[in-house]
């Protein structure tokens, strides 16, 4: 069965996007992982399926990591899917529904999109963590990095604050941290270097994906955790290897993320090749 696909990215965090709004697509987690494989498939950081939006949502976005696991949030894909749906419908504001909630996304001048990524959840059960612990200081360390803060943005995040990001062996310590027993659902692990109260650098080891060029929900978590620690104000530019996001943690708890979207190419996929 040949179906069209679209390859999109937000700051180099890349997605294979399939459209199942008109017709359901039966794709197993193993099939999604095969499509996401960079050598034997198309290759992507996340595999996204658009499903019909109902009751106030313009689209439902299903998110899978390259290991086939399902995620509750993907900030960069939220902007990409919103832009796709908004352009189709000639709208400037759309609602993207995920398994974690509804995310309104607004078109801004200059090809930018602002997503309301919802309320950051700060309780230990929200992240979730395996036991009752202060989410502002997790008892977790690897080598020279220690004492991260955690929160949920619809998916689990921990942010380590480091003096020199270039000295952190992210690929080496990321897998063990992602799978640490303190995270019963595993976690996305951020490493942030504060440059000023309005600017930080960030590299993320993503759950189920590894290092990516940018992680929108990871940037939301870094904004929230940095402000909770008194390291930044409520607004900051977050510079990741793929580029910048403008972040704000509003007083009402909502996290706003502004950034670009891009389509790299479109193509046709023979689903029978990837039946998993």
Ligand X SMILES: N[C@@H](CCC[C@H](N)C(=O)O)C(=O)O
User: Binding ligand X by CB under 6 A: which of 212, 225, 232, 239?
Assistant: 212
Q: Which residue is catalytic, options 44, 74, 80, 220?
A: 74
Known catalytic residue at 215: yes
User: Binding ligand X by CB under 6 A: which of 75, 174, 242, 259?
Assistant: 75
Binding residues for ligand X restricted to 30-49, rule: CB under 6 A: 45-46
End-to-end alpha carbon distance in the chain: 14
For residue 206, say whether it is annotated as part of any ligand binding site.
yes
d(CA 69, CA 65): 5
Minimal CA–CA distance to 217: which of 91, 92, 127, 133? 127
Region binding ligand X by CB under 6 A among candidate stretches 29-37, 67-75, 82-90, 226-234: 67-75
User: Binding ligand X by CB under 6 A: which of 8, 27, 73, 84?
Assistant: 73
Of 36 and 215, CB closest to ligand X: 215
Give the DSSP per-residue string, 64-131.
E-TTS-EES--HHHHHHHHHHHHHHHT-SEEEEEETTEEEEEEEEGGGEEEEEEEE-B-STTTTT-SS
Under 8 Å between Cβ of 95 and 56: yes
Of 98 and 232, CB closest to ligand X: 98
CA angle 176, 47, 249 (to 5 degrees): 70
Known catalytic residue at 151: no
User: Binding ligand X by CB under 6 A: which of 31, 44, 65, 178?
Assistant: 65
Q: Which residue is catalytic, options 44, 80, 215, 220?
A: 215
Secondary structure letter of residue 166 according to DSSP:
G
CB atoms under 10 Å from CB of 92, counted, come to: 11
Of 112 and 197, CB closest to ligand X: 112
Give the DSSP per-residue string, 51-79.
EE--TT-SEEEEEE-TTS-EES--HHHHH
d(CA 114, CA 246): 9
User: Binding ligand X by CB under 6 A: which of 98, 155, 159, 232?
Assistant: 155
Of 38 and 54, CB closest to ligand X: 38
Please give the positions annotated as active site.
74, 215
Interface residues toward ligand X, by CB under 6 A: 13, 45-46, 63, 65, 71, 73-76, 155, 188, 206-209, 212, 215-218
Annotated binding site: 13, 46, 65, 75-76, 155, 188, 206-207, 216-217
Annotated binding site for substrate: 13, 46, 65, 75-76, 155, 188, 206-207, 216-217
């Amino acid at each position: 069965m040949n179906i069209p696909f679209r390859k999109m990215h937000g700051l180099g965090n890349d997605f294979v996007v399939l459209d199942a709004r008109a017709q359901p697509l039966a794709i197993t987690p193993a099939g999604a992982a095969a499509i996401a494989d960079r050598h034997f498939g198309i290759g992507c950081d996340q595999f996204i399926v658009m499903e019909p939006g109902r009751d106030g949502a313009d689209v439902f976005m299903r998110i899978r990591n390259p290991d086939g696991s399902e995620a509750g949030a993907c900030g960069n894909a939220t902007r990409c899917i919103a832009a796709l749906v908004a352009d189709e419908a000639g709208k400037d504001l759309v609602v993207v529904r995920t398994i974690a909630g509804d995310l309104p996304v607004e078109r801004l001048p200059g090809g930018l999109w602002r997503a309301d990524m919802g309320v950051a959840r700060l309780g230990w059960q929200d992240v979730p963590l395996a036991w009752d612990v202060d989410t502002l200081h997790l008892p977790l360390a690897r080598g020279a990095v220690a004492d991260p803060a955690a929160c949920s943005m619809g998916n689990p995040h921990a942010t380590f604050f480091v003096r020199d990001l270039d000295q952190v062996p992210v690929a080496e310590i990321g897998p063990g941290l992602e799978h640490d027993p303190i995270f019963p659902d595993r976690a996305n692990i951020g490493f942030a270097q504060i440059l000023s109260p309005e600017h930080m650098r960030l590299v993320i080891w993503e759950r189920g994906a590894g290092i990516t060029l940018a992680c929108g929900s990871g940037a939301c978590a870094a904004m929230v955790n940095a402000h909770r620690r008194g390291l930044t104000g409520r607004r900051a530019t977050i510079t990741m290897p793929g580029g910048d996001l403008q972040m704000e943690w509003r007083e009402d708890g909502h996290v706003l993320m502004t950034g670009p979207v891009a389509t790299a190419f479109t193509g046709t996929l023979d689903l029978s090749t990837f039946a998993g």
